[in-house]
Amino acid sequence: MLYPFTKGLSDHDAQIIEILIFYYNNHNKQNKFIRKIDSDTMFTFSQLLSQENWGEVFIDGDINLIFNNFLDIYLRIYNASFPINKRKEYIKSSPWITPGIKISCSTKRHL
């Protein structure tokens, strides 16, 4: 924000500039959250599902409570079997690279 500052004692006015500090967010770094799903984690998931006592699900007579109990147990086992891993991903920003240049680079790498 820029505004004049007048003291009234002189024919020269000063200009005052107010600089606000903004935090720069680097858009080249993004966090990517992925789940590790492979044969080992799928085996663990199926084992935990088979070992669960599903009788607790049907204790209530209300269909909504039955579904909520089932979903709670299922999601607990799912989240335990397939943990979320955080990865930092760096995105190269080059707007001047056209799709044709990208295809040519990929062909060059392949050859």
Q: What is the pLDDT of residue 45?
A: 93
pLDDT in tens, 36-92: 888 999 999 999 999 998 888 888 788 888 898 899 899 999 999 998 888 877 666
Sorted by where each begins, the domain ranges of the chain are 26-95
Q: What does the DSSP assignment read for the chain?
A: -EEEE--SSSS--EEEE---------TTEEEEEEE--SHHHHHHHHHHHHHS-GGGTTSSS-HHHHHHHHHHHHHHHHHHHS-EEEEEEE----TT--HHHHHHHHHHHH-
pLDDT in tens, 89-106: 766 667 777 888 888 888
**What global pTM score does this model have?**
0.53
